[in-house]
């Protein structure tokens, strides 16, 4: 039995789930948190990005058992259903970033972590940091714009989203 | 039927309850429309009451929808002012789930803030072709959607004219409101919906369309209608569907088109952790001859497990013996060799001539390069997937795909069923085709009895 702390709640994962199952599949199939996306499954696309103690990780590469006792945040955990969106989420809507939208949960999780670390990133810092997240539609220029937008929003509120 | 009349199955997750509810409401409205076609009226509760539910339910549904106005399959205006616009084509990132409803809203003179966009059901009789391809969604739907919006607008104007006993020519519309400037009267579309629903539907070809100069919505930047769902990580994609008691499967296809799975280490696979079953899928139809509507099921091996991961792990252990005697011999190397051979030959036919090509090459600097690109599918990030919900007498399927056309039922039978004219479970499953990379829409077999007959 695995006990996982996801979005501030404790989830017990049954014995029918192999503890070595990648966190991605435990989130999607066992816990029904399907916001985290499966793209490549081999750590190449970052569609599956979640936060482990605030740090972006590819959940397809992390066995669920190694996430026990750590703080897991998924896209669903950024702002509760119906609650106000975070600055990054708002900026994503304002800049109309998504096209097909499939990679965007991963992009938003990575951008959120970037801004927590680097509140006012340069274009170069954004490009370097976000390079791990692949977008099949090529929304990169708007992603960059949205990150600047979110940075400005966060600066106004003193970092609180 | 309105949302309030729908009793959701409490065992379903909330989002599935919403989908079920949406489907129930849509089915009721669409069935009403099929009746409307016959009578020429936009219709009210009375019409609906003829096609759904026993006794009390019927009456409740009648009361609930009598104030909803649906001039055509693209527009629904509710008494509370909510305007539901149906997006007919698959949204695959090109933005049509936003842009096609915008076309309707423009001619309707709707307030976009009151608009809720829903993915339409798949129904050729109502919507014609529902595909994404060749950048055709907007050009092919431009005129029909403008007319759909203009038709609804015309009926709302008529409703106001009738209510106030004034000529239609003195009325104007803007932001979901009809105005009579001379008497300083105005009414919202929601207020006019009940009356509009009783009026005859005008001929779409005869309605007046707005000149471009008076567009209020088209040409403006409108944020994508699904953006909030996307940034919140809400279930939206084919792969996000979850149904009660769902298992996860992988399908191992043959290494060549037309090869058949003869045997596999199925007993070994079934004993692996998390695996519930493994079996060989028998092919039907002729996979070598591509036919979009064709009755093709590829031979292969299915592994069913309690998670995607368990199914994928089991697949790594799978050993299949294939019979490739009837398989296609096509290969990439063969295709390249063929292309080179064709390119080396002189042109068989001149298709067009113009300008002085030789002169232009002689006059300027030339750059030469040869580009080749290997054979790939769209290579979208969402892996190919499909969710099927077998409910004993019906099966519902969610798929992520560009083509939403339900295949012809007649061509969808297996060889045994073609002889008998019946339809076994696997034929029924193959008969359903549903879509959209982003989808909340799905088809159902057998179709609900109150769906229009023409859709079958």
R_g of chain A, CA atoms, integer Å = 15
Q: What is the pLDDT of residue B256?
A: 83
Q: What is the pLDDT of residue B390?
A: 85
Q: How many CB atoms lie within 10 A of CB B96?
A: 20
Q: Decide if A104 and B231 are in contact by the 8 Å CB cutoff.
A: yes
Q: What is the pLDDT of residue B283?
A: 83
Of A36, A76, A104, Cβ closest to residue B230 = A104
Could you tell me the CA-to-CA distances from B422 to A118, B116, B419, B428 in Å, in that order? 65, 41, 8, 10
Closest CA to A161 of A105, A85, A92: A85
Residues 6+ apart with CB under 8 A from B151: B71, B72, B201, B202, B204, B207
Q: Decide if B309 and A25 are in contact by the 8 Å CB cutoff.
A: yes
Burial bucket for residue B184 (CB in 10 Å: 0-12, 13-18, 19+): exposed
Closest CA to A117 of A151, A89, A69: A151
**Statement: the pTM of the whole predicted model exceeds 0.80:** no
Share of chain A residues as helix, strand and coil, in percent rounded to the nearest 5: 40, 15, 45
- B416: tokens are 């045994």
pLDDT level of residue A26 (50, 70, 90 thresholds): very high
CB contacts of A136 in chain B (<8 Å) are 93, 379-381
Q: Decide if B239 and A18 are in contact by the 8 Å CB cutoff.
A: no
Q: What is the pLDDT of residue B432?
A: 33
Q: DSSP string of A98-125?
A: -SS-TTHHHHHHHHHHHHHH-SS--HHH
pLDDT in tens, chain B (456 residues): 455 555 655 545 555 555 556 555 555 554 444 433 333 334 332 222 222 233 434 444 444 445 688 888 899 999 899 999 999 998 888 999 999 999 999 999 999 999 999 988 777 788 888 888 888 899 999 999 999 999 999 999 999 999 999 999 999 999 999 999 999 999 999 999 999 999 999 999 999 999 999 999 999 999 999 999 999 999 999 899 888 889 999 999 888 888 899 999 999 999 999 999 999 998 887 766 656 555 577 889 999 999 999 999 999 999 999 999 988 888 878 888 898 899 899 888 888 888 998 898 898 888 888 877 766 667 789 988 889 888 887 778 787 766 544 433 323 344 454 455 444 444 443 333 332 345 433 333 333 333 332 222
CA angle B196, B201, B206 (to 5 degrees): 120
Beta bridge partners of B397: B388, B443
Among chain A residues, CA nearest to B437 = A100
- Name the one residue in this structure whose structure tokens are 């368990």: B310
pLDDT level of residue A74 (50, 70, 90 thresholds): very high
CB contacts of B220 in chain A (<8 Å) are none
ipTM of the complex: 0.97
SS3 sequence, chain B?
CCHHHCCCCCCCCHHHHHHHHHHHHHHHHHHHHHHHHHHCECCCHHHHHCCCCCHHHHHHHHHHHCCCEEEECCEEECCCCCEEEEECCCECCCCHHHHHHHHHHHHHCCCHHHEEEEECCCCHHHHCCCECCCCCHHHHHHHHHHHHHHHHHHHHHHHHHHHHCCCHHHEEEECCEEEEHHHCEEEEHHHHHHHHCCCECCCHHHCCCCCHHHCCCCCCCCCCCCHHHHHHCCCCEHHHCCCCCCCEEEEEECCCCCCEEEEECHHHHHCCCCEEEEEEECCECCCCCCCCCCCCECCEEEEEECCHHHHHHHHHHCCEEEECCCCCCCCHHHHHHHHHHHHHCCCCCCCCCCCCHHHHHHHCCCCCCCCCCCCCCCCCCCCCCEEEEECCCCEEEEECCCECCCCCCHHHCCHHHHHHCCCCHHHHHHCCCCCCCECCCCEEECCCCCCCHHHC
Element (H, E) at A130: helix A123-130
Q: Decide if A89 and B232 are in contact by the 8 Å CB cutoff.
A: yes
What are the residues of chain B with a beta carbon less than 8 Å away from any beta carbon of chain A? 13, 91-95, 221, 223-224, 226-228, 230-237, 239-240, 242, 248, 273-274, 306-310, 312, 379-383, 437-438
Closest CA to B187 of B73, B84, B69: B69
Q: What is the pLDDT of residue A18?
A: 92
Residues 6+ apart with CB under 8 A from B145: B74, B100, B103, B104, B107
Q: Which of B231, B243, B401 to mutate to test the interface with A (most CBs of A within 10 A)?
A: B231
Cα–Cα distance for residue pair B260/B169, rounded to 1 Å: 69
Q: What strands lie across the sheet with B395-399, from one edge to the other? A: B386-390, B395-399, B443-445
- Name the one residue in this structure whose structure tokens are 């002189």: B346
Q: What is the pLDDT of residue B17?
A: 56
Beta bridge partners of B280: B301
For B251, phi then psi, to 5°, come to: -125, 125
Nearest CA-CA distance, residue B133 and chain A, Å: 15
Q: What is the pLDDT of residue A37?
A: 97
Nearest CA-CA distance, residue B239 and chain A, Å: 8
Cα–Cα distance for residue pair A106/A135, rounded to 1 Å: 10
């Amino acid at each position: 039995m695995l006990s996982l702390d996801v979005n501030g709640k404790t989830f017990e994962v049954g014995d029918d789930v192999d503890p070595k199952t990648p966190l991605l599949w435990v989130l999607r199939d066992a816990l029904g948190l399907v916001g985290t996306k499966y793209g490549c499954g081999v750590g190449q696309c970052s569609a599956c990005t979640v936060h482990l103690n605030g740090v972006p990780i590819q959940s397809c590469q992390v066995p669920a058992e190694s996430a026990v006792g750590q703080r897991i945040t998924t896209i669903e955990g950024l702002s509760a259903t119906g609650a106000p969106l975070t600055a990054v989420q708002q900026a994503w809507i304002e800049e109309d970033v998504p096209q097909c939208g499939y990679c965007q949960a991963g992009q938003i999780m990575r951008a959120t972590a970037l801004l927590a670390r680097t509140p006012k990133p340069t274009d170069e810092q954004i490009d370097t940091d976000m390079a791990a997240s692949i977008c099949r539609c090529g929304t990169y220029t708007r992603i960059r714009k949205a990150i600047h937008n979110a940075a400005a929003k966060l600066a106004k509120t003193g970092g609180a989203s | 039927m309105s949302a309030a009349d729908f009793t959701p199955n409490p065992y379903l997750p909330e989002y599935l309850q919403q989908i079920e509810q949406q489907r129930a409401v849509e089915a009721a409205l669409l069935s009403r429309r099929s009746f409307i076609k016959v009578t020429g009226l936009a219709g009210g509760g009375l019409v609906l009451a003829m096609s759904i539910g026993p006794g009390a339910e019927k009456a409740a549904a009648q009361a609930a929808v009598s104030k909803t106005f649906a001039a055509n399959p693209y527009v629904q205006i509710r008494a509370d002012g909510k305007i539901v616009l149906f997006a007919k084509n698959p949204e695959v990132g090109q933005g049509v789930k936003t842009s096609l409803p915008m076309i309707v809203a423009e001619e309707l003179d709707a307030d976009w803030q009151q608009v809720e966009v829903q993915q339409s059901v798949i129904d050729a009789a109502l919507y014609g072709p529902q595909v994404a391809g060749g950048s055709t969604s907007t050009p092919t739907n431009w005129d029909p959607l403008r007319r759909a919006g203009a038709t609804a607008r015309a009926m709302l104007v008529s409703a106001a004219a009738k209510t106030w006993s004034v000529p239609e020519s003195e009325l104007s519309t803007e932001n979901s409101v009809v105005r009579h400037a001379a008497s300083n009267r105005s009414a919202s579309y929601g207020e006019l919906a009940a009356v509009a629903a009783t009026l005859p539907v005008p001929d779409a070809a005869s309605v007046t369309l707005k000149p471009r100069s008076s567009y209020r919505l088209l040409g403006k930047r409108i944020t994508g209608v699904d953006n909030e769902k996307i940034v919140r990580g809400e279930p939206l994609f084919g792969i996000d569907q979850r149904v009660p008691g769902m298992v996860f499967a992988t399908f191992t296809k043959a290494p060549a088109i037309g090869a058949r799975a003869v045997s596999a280490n199925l007993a070994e696979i079934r004993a692996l952790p998390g695996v519930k079953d493994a079996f060989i899928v028998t092919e039907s139809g002729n996979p070598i001859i591509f036919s979009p509507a064709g009755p093709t099921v590829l031979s292969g091996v299915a592994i069913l497990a309690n998670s995607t991961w368990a199914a994928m792990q089991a697949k790594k252990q799978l050993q299949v013996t294939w019979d490739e005697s009837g398989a296609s011999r096509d290969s990439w190397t063969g295709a390249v060799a063929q292309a080179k051979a064709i390119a080396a030959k002189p042109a068989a036919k001149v298709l067009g001539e113009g300008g002085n090509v030789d002169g232009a090459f002689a006059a300027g600097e030339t750059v030469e390069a040869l580009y080749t690109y290997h054979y790939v599918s769209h290579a979208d990030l969402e892996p190919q997937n499909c969710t099927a919900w077998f409910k004993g007498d019906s099966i519902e399927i969610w798929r992520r795909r560009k083509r939403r056309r339900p295949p012809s039922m007649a061509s969808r039978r297996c060889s045994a069923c073609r002889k008998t004219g019946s339809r076994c479970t696997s034929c029924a499953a193959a008969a359903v085709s549903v879509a959209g990379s982003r989808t909340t829409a799905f088809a159902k077999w057998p179709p609900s009895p109150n769906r229009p007959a023409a859709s079958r």
